[in-house]
Amino acid sequence: MARTLITSAIPYINGIKHLGNLIGSQLPADLYARYMRARGNEVLFLCATDEHGTPAELAAAKAGKPVAEYCAEMWEVQAKLADGFRLSFDHFGRSSSPQNHKLTQHFAGKLAEAGLIREVTEKQVYSKADGRFLPDRYIEGTCPNCGYDKARGDQCENCTKQLDPTDLIEPHSAISGSTDLEVRETKHLYLRQSAMRDRLEAWIDSKSDWPVLTTSIAKKWLNDGDGLQDRGITRDLDWGIPVKKGDADWPGMEGKVFYVWFDAPIEYIACAAEWVDAGKGDDWERWWRTDKGADGVRYVQFMGKDNVPFHTLSFPATILGSGEPWKLVDYIKSFNYLNYDGGQFSTSQGRGVFMDQALEILPADYWRWWLLSHAPETSDSEFTWENFQAGVNKDLADVLGNFVSRITKFCRSKFGEVVPEGGEMGEQEQALIAELETRLAGYQHHMDAIEIRKAAAELRAIWAAGNEYLQSAAPWSAFKEDPDRAAAITRFALNLIPVYAGLSAPFIPDAAAAMAKAMGTELSWPESVAQAISTLPAGHAFTVPDVLFAKISDEAREDWQARFSGIRT
């Protein structure tokens, strides 16, 4: 049995995520996890909340709660929403866990032993108005590279250039807006990424199958300017993992914590330890240590393009630099941005549809299908209410939903709620089996390659083929002249429903489960259409399912468009 380790970029704890966040990592990761399980792989699918750093502190202060309490509450919220979208994590962890504290401090100690950490007395921006040193991402200004006027002090979201706060033009505090900033001296630890450059470049070059987006961003950061820069891994904050070398104190680093971008990726590993400690698994090291069996694991990461530099350089530098036999990622699936109705989704500005709002409007499958079938793989894509309405109505209601409803209701009216007997498959049925076998192979190829939009298009074509067959074979017409032929057509078409359920489950799990339940079968992946097409024998009982997908009316679409046109309050 093949073993697949899957991680999704872990979302910040501060607030509910929007649909752009969802399609940028968690949802496609879930699609792949469900597919791998359906094909018989042993899968460990991990995600967590990213709880450290200033975003958590500020959000907690705004909520009037201690930061630990705030994070615990928001973890519950995010876990519930993940369940609402049917994200099938084997464990949804927390970067503030004791397991992550221990592992982060362990890695820091190993990197120090390897000579890959240096102490630096540096000048850091201090905001008098806020009474604190400002973390890089809470200093905003104009990017000196591209001129984007909302660049952060760690990187520019527009051109992805790695920055230092002092690089920004006209910097100001993102907390208070104050420009009363001054530079003060403070001591921090730096990961000597520059010393790892050759090893990282060789490793990246070995990944010839990575998406162009992933490789191009990694190479850009690797070779930008003077090349790969050393990176600070500590901060002057109260909330975070205390700086230690393993279990030992780190002289001169008292009161400091590790930078969130150092400890957050380590949570992928810690999350597996949490999974075991929660009683869900029995051996996390066989997934993460190559000396304990992880050399037989394929590890796939999913993330938005803004996370690529840290996952192709900084985290691998930590893993490689430790000198220990940890599992490195095999494949990184990265995504461009999903924009919203002529602008951008934004958590900080509250613009767009957020996960909780989406589920209040429609069930998860509607969103899952549209987002995945429009995944921003090769370029940015855009959510508009008109496209969403069209995608739901044409793909889900008119194609899949219509097929299931039409054939089950016809059978009930002419033969009862049992699969009819009589007649044999003819040329039409054999032709459709041949077409579906070809399409199944194409669908599996795209899913294996994590080509999500192509996979969605092939799945829709599989649904459409059934509709076209039903329209051409017309059992309602055949019934008048040849009831046995009508029975054979109906039996064949009913048998397509379990096939469709199994193939559709990674995309639309609730509808797939409803189809399988109505037909009295278990969800399973059809390795062969020719074999699966006789799953339901004559006499097998079924029920006519409720409407799988209701169409979105123009009135509802216009109402939602108006409701979500402004800033979320």
Per-residue pLDDT of 196-246, as tens digits, reads 999 999 999 999 999 999 999 999 988 876 668 899 999 988 899 999 999
pTM: 0.91
The tokens for 55 are 């975003």
Examine the pLDDT at 568 and tell me if it is beyond 60: no
Average pLDDT over residues 478-496: 96
> What's the pLDDT at 299?
98
Examine the pLDDT at 405 and tell me if it is beyond 70: yes
Beta bridge partners of 284: none
State the pLDDT confidence band at 47, using cuts at 50, 70 and 90. Answer: very high
Average pLDDT over residues 466-487: 96
Examine the pLDDT at 184 and tell me if it is beyond 50: yes
Do the annotations mark residue 71 as ligand-binding?
Answer: no
State the pLDDT confidence band at 399, using cuts at 50, 70 and 90. Answer: very high
Do the annotations mark residue 290 as ligand-binding?
Answer: no
> What's the pLDDT at 223?
87
Examine the pLDDT at 520 and tell me if it is beyond 70: yes
The CATH class that applies to domain 385-532 reads: mainly alpha
3-state helix, strand, coil in the chain (%, to 5): 50, 15, 35
State the pLDDT confidence band at 404, using cuts at 50, 70 and 90. Answer: very high
Examine the pLDDT at 276 and tell me if it is beyond 70: yes
Read out DSSP for 336-390?
A: -PEEETTEE-BTTTTBS-BHHHHHHHS-HHHHHHHHHHT--SSS-EEE-HHHHHH
| Short-list 525, 533, 543, CA closest to 36 | 525
> What's the pLDDT at 349?
66
Examine the pLDDT at 342 and tell me if it is beyond 50: yes
- Longest alpha-carbon distance in the chain: 91
Examine the pLDDT at 135 and tell me if it is beyond 80: no
Please count the other Cβ atoms lying within 10 Å of the Cβ belonging to residue 108.
29
Average pLDDT over residues 182-200: 93
Do the annotations mark residue 47 as ligand-binding?
Answer: no
The tokens for 143 are 């990017």
Examine the pLDDT at 155 and tell me if it is beyond 90: no
State the pLDDT confidence band at 130, using cuts at 50, 70 and 90. Answer: confident
Range from 94-98, 139-143, 151-155, 294-298 carrying the lowest mean pLDDT: 151-155
> What's the pLDDT at 122?
84
Range from 157-161, 166-170, 376-380, 505-509 carrying the lowest mean pLDDT: 157-161
Average pLDDT, the chain: 94
Do the annotations mark residue 54 as ligand-binding?
Answer: no
Examine the pLDDT at 359 and tell me if it is beyond 60: yes
> What's the pLDDT at 566?
65
Cα within 13 Å of Cα(18), Cβ side: 19
Read out DSSP for 488-556?
A: HHHHHHHHHHHHHHHHHTTT-HHHHHHHHHHTT------S-HHHHTTSS-TT-B--PPPPS-PPPPHHH
> What's the pLDDT at 160?
83
Q: Which amino acid is at 41?
A: N
Do the annotations mark residue 146 as ligand-binding?
Answer: yes
- pLDDT more than 70, % of the chain: 98
State how far the Cα of 556 lies from the Cα of 179, in Å rounded to an integer. Answer: 45
- pLDDT per residue over 411-437, tens digit each? 999 999 999 999 999 999 999 999 999
State the pLDDT confidence band at 154, using cuts at 50, 70 and 90. Answer: confident
Average pLDDT over residues 266-288: 97
Read out DSSP for 399-434?
A: IIIHHHHHHHHHHHHHH-SB--------HHHHHHHH
> What's the pLDDT at 316?
97
State the pLDDT confidence band at 133, using cuts at 50, 70 and 90. Answer: confident
The tokens for 76 are 């519950």
Examine the pLDDT at 347 and tell me if it is beyond 90: no
Examine the pLDDT at 66 and tell me if it is beyond 70: yes
> What's the pLDDT at 161?
86
Average pLDDT over residues 128-149: 89
Of residues 511 and 157, the one with the higher pLDDT is 511
Pairing of strands 132-133, 117-127: antiparallel
- pLDDT more than 90, % of the chain: 85
State the pLDDT confidence band at 569, using cuts at 50, 70 and 90. Answer: very low
